[in-house]
Amino acid sequence: MAIVEVKVPQLSESVAEATLLQWKKKVGEAVSADEILIEIETDKVVLETPAPAGGVITEILQADGATVVAEQVIARIDTAAVAGAAAPAAAPAAAAPTPAPAPAAAAAASTSKAGVAMPAAAKLMADNNLASGSVAGTGKDGRVTKGDVLGAMAAPKVAAPVAAPTGAPTKALPQVQVAGPNLGDRPEERVPMTRLRARIAERLLQSQSTNAILTTFNEVNMAPVMEMRKKFQEKFEKEHGVKLGFMSFFVKAAVHALKKYPVLNASVDGNDIVYHGYFDIGIAVGSPRGLVVPILRNADQMSFADVEKKIAEYGQKAKDGKLGIEEMSGGTFSISNGGVFGSMLSTPIINPPQSAILGVHATKDRAVVENGQIVIRPINYLAMSYDHRIIDGREAVLGLVAMKEALEDPARLLFDI
């Protein structure tokens, strides 16, 4: 027998613990080397943990939902075993039967692990003030799982029977159900936040409590960008193998403005203002597990094709839950495109430690006045939230105007004017 341990992979320095999501294999099943066994969620990313060797899973030490740390052993694989192998032959009939354990010993053996809560279940019980032993376990050896706790919390509460006075005739008292809200046909479901969702909530609250957030707005005539895109779309896609979208224009326009007004690309560190000499643009992307912001490194050095390819790559990775920690770390400025979902106007929240964020919205035909005439133009409302502690209204407004001018005359991006 050759046993190989399955361990939690190394986590980043800022991540202390993680949560096991769902085992893809059970005890006794065969696995191949590098086959994904389980996904482990941190407050930043979801890590796929592969089998270190091929064989049969002989033991799973931590169940779904358990809280784990880096290098912790969570399962064991027997590399010499074969899945479905026959169990050892039974003892000959003539052999003397094994004496049955004493009742007390048998009870102790069967209950030694019963009622023991798994780490995630124990934490959930503590958070909801549930006494130890109050939840029946359905896990291996009677262990209490996270699902057991959630089920117990959702079940209707029943009042404990009242003891009869000493010496009084014993009489069964009816169990009284504690009154609760009568939801009728309006069901509710209580689901704990994932680590990623809890981290997002923490950062948003941090941003609003530590930044002096103010938002400025402007409208952009997107006709020049739309005309250029229509003119070169076919050739662009044929040449670069990716479609020419609008986000590359917004990224380039943002970099154009950040170069003119460097404080928009700065951050606060204590009583210091840190001016970054590079342009790492975060692109807010929705994923099944929540909002993530992967970074376009050195966006000023990227071509339109480079930007479009990277955004497409990040979008697919976010959908598959495969974004790495290094792809979401850092960033000096962010862009949030609510327009893809139909948003007309919003006040985006700054992504700390950055000091500004651009909100892009849906482009719609609107009546505008040009040279004293009412005309129809495709208009996009831009919103830029900024930290008023270091960015004055002048720089914020002029920065947004610089983005507007670059989008309304894309040739400016070519000549950097």
- Within 8 A by CB and 6+ apart from 397, the residues are 216
- How far out from the chain centre does Cα 125 lie? 24
Catalytic residue among 320, 392, 409, 416: 392
> Three-class SS string for the chain?
CCEEEEECCCCCCCCCCEEEEEECCCCCCEECCCCEEEEEECCCCEEEEECCCCEEEEEECCCCCCEECCCCEEEEEECCCCCCCCCCCCCCCCCCCCCCCCHHHHHHHHHCCCCCECHHHHHHHHHCCCCCCCCCCCCHHHCECHHHHHHHHHCCCECCCCCCCCCCCCCCCCCCECCCCCCCCCCCCCCCCCHHHHHHHHHHHHHHHHCCEEEEEEEEECHHHHHHHHHHHHHHHHHHCCCCCCHHHHHHHHHHHHHHCHHHHCEEECCEEECCCCCCEEECEEECCEEECCEECCHHHCCHHHHHHHHHHHHHHHHHCCCCHHHHCCCCEEEEEHHHHCCCCCCCCCCCCECEEEEECCCEEEEEEECCEEEEEEEEEEEEEEECCCCCHHHHHHHHHHHHHHHHCCHHHHHCC
Q: Let me know if 269 is a catalytic residue.
A: no
- CA 138, CA 342: separation in Å to the nearest integer? 46
Count CB-CB contacts under 10 A for residue 81: 17
Q: Measure the CA dihedral 164/169/172/177, to 10°.
A: -30
User: Is the CB of residue 3 less than 8 Å from the CB of residue 81?
Assistant: no
34 given a catalytic annotation? no
Q: Two tokens at 237?
A: 């896609």
Residue at token pair 């983005």: 403
* Residues catalogued as catalytic: 388, 392
